[in-house]
């Protein structure tokens, strides 16, 4: 039974990949995920300079999922270099995806130029964070032409595979994916968080997040993620890192049938901690055995036959 995935020429031993932001950029904590069974990792998005992010509280879980307004906090790309080297040394056989962000296209290009020199296998372009609008305006991924322009500019500075991370908060995600593909993207990551959303503390009579609004992830967004991946798969030939609301192995199988080749694992970590990766991979393995599949790639896009 083959559970390995060749994605943009890079071999992943299984399809589970830590989603950006869930475990920071620390090489040791990302390596810990590999020891617990994930196929590869995505580091948190990095800007050129250190960012404090939004004030606390920034992350809340609730019965339907998880809402966050972390605000893309973290060290700058240059300070984070060591973490990529630590990870690479500890996990030579498990691919690493570096995620780049920027206040504008110029910064995105500059951060990518630096990321290009780091030991990452794929560079993910975070065009889609929904909780920094106040500072940065509407995310690039909400506009097809901006998505094309930014992808093209970044394509010019790296030969590593690039995956454009898209937002579900648009009316036609398939069209935006097509613009990314035509501008030179090798892959699409979908989706980033939905919203923004808001929760209110009824006793304090005010929004719970200090930023008032945050991006929504987790169980409740699974149908949106599946529909987005389905629409993207219909519109492009490049492969997809399917992300959003994957908690259990059956969620993973569903989103692969919609068109995902790799699985961005985020909220499953919040639900099951480090056990998430093996649980999901094991469920896929059992399903394949029971249903007579020998190669995981045969699951990808199956729901399009109907």
Ligand X SMILES: Cc1cc2nc3c(=O)[nH]c(=O)nc-3n(C[C@H](O)[C@H](O)[C@H](O)COP(=O)(O)O)c2cc1C
Element of type H or E holding 108: helix 105-115
- Of 20, 112, 147, 281, the one binding ligand X by CB under 6 A: 20
Beta strands in the chain (DSSP E): 5-7, 10-12, 16-18, 40-42, 59-62, 65-68, 96-100, 122-126, 162-165, 187-190, 194-197, 200-201, 206-207, 214-217, 240-243, 262-265
Q: Is 187 in the site for ligand X (CB under 6 A)?
A: no
Active site residue 129: yes
Beta strands in 166-269 (DSSP E): 187-190, 194-197, 200-201, 206-207, 214-217, 240-243, 262-265
- Report, in Å, the least distance between residue 262 CB and ligand X: 13
**DSSP per-residue codes, 49-67:** S-B--SPSP-EEEETTEEE
- Of 126, 131, 151, 167, the one binding ligand X by CB under 6 A: 126
- Report, in Å, the least distance between residue 66 CB and ligand X: 5
Per CB under 6 A, the segment of 134-142, 178-186, 213-221, 287-295 that binds ligand X is 213-221
- Of 70, 232, 255, 296, the one binding ligand X by CB under 6 A: 70
- Of 25, 30, 31, 72, the one binding ligand X by CB under 6 A: 72
Distance separating alpha carbons of residues 182 and 167, to the nearest angstrom: 18
- Report, in Å, the least distance between residue 75 CB and ligand X: 12
Pairing assessment for the beta strands 10-12 and 240-243 based on DSSP bridges: unpaired
Distance separating alpha carbons of residues 246 and 304, to the nearest angstrom: 20
Q: Is 192 in the site for ligand X (CB under 6 A)?
A: yes
Residues 226 to 255 in contact with ligand X, rule: CB under 6 A: 243-246
Distance separating alpha carbons of residues 223 and 74, to the nearest angstrom: 30
Residues 25 to 44 in contact with ligand X, rule: CB under 6 A: 44
Q: Is 221 in the site for ligand X (CB under 6 A)?
A: yes
Which one of 33, 129, 142, 228 is the catalytic residue?
129
Whether 285 contacts 105, CB under 8 Å:
no
Nearer to ligand X, 60 or 153 (CB): 60
Q: Is 217 in the site for ligand X (CB under 6 A)?
A: yes
Residues 127 to 186 in contact with ligand X, rule: CB under 6 A: 165
Per-position x/- string for 77-96, each x denoting binding to ligand X as judged by CB under 6 A, each - no binding? --------------------
**Phi, psi for 111 (deg, rounded to 5):** -65, -40
Q: Which residue is at the shortest CB distance from ligand X?
A: 21
- Of 10, 59, 86, 199, the one binding ligand X by CB under 6 A: 59
The helix/strand/coil state of 210 is coil
| Size of the residue set binding ligand X (CB under 6 A) | 24
Q: Is 267 in the site for ligand X (CB under 6 A)?
A: yes
| CB-side neighbour CA atoms (13 Å) of 23 | 31
Handedness of CA 70, 71, 76, 82 (dihedral sign): positive
- Report, in Å, the least distance between residue 157 CB and ligand X: 19
- Of 21, 71, 161, 301, the one binding ligand X by CB under 6 A: 21
Task: Spell out the residues 6+ positions from residue 273 whose beta carbon is closer than 8 angstroms to its own.
Answer: none
- Report, in Å, the least distance between residue 294 CB and ligand X: 28
Peptide bond into 66 cis (omega under 30): no
Q: Is 193 in the site for ligand X (CB under 6 A)?
A: yes
The helix/strand/coil state of 71 is coil
Which residues contribute to the site for ligand X (CB under 6 A)? 19-21, 44-45, 59, 66, 68, 70, 72, 99, 126, 165, 192-193, 217-218, 221, 243-246, 266-267
Please list the active-site residues.
Answer: 129
């Amino acid at each position: 039974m083959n559970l390995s995935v060749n994605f943009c020429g890079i071999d992943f031993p299984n399809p589970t990949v830590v989603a950006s932001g869930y475990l920071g950029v620390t090489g040791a904590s990302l390596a810990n995920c590999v020891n617990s069974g994930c196929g590869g990792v995505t580091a948190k998005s990095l800007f050129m300079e250190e960012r404090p992010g939004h004030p606390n509280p920034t992350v809340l879980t609730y019965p339907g999922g998880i809402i966050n307004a972390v605000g893309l906090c973290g060290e700058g790309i240059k300070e984070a270099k060591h973490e990529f080297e630590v990870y690479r040394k500890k996990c030579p056989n498990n691919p690493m995806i570096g995620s780049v962000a920027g206040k504008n296209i110029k910064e995105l290009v500059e951060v990518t130029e630096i990321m290009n020199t780091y030991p990452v296998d794929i560079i993910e372009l975070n065009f889609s964070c929904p909780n920094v609008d106040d500072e940065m305006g509407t995310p690039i991924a909400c506009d097809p032409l901006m998505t094309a322009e930014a992808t093209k500019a970044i394509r010019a500075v790296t030969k590593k595979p690039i995956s454009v991370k898209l937002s579900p908060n648009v009316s036609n995600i398939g069209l935006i994916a097509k613009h990314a593909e035509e501008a030179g993207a090798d892959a699409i990551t979908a989706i980033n968080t939905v919203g923004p959303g808001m929760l209110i503390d009824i006793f304090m009579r005010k929004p719970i997040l200090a930023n008032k609004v945050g991006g929504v992830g987790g169980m409740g967004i699974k149908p949106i993620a599946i529909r987005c991946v389905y629409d993207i798969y219909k519109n492009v030939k490049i492969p997809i890192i399917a992300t959003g609301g994957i908690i259990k192995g059956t969620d993973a199988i569903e989103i692969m049938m919609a068109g995902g080749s790799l699985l961005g694992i985020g909220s499953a970590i919040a639900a099951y901690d480090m056990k998430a990766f093996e649980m999901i991979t094991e469920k896929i393995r059992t399903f394949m055995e029971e249903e007579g599949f020998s190669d995981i790639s045969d699951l990808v896009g199956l729901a399009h036959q109907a």
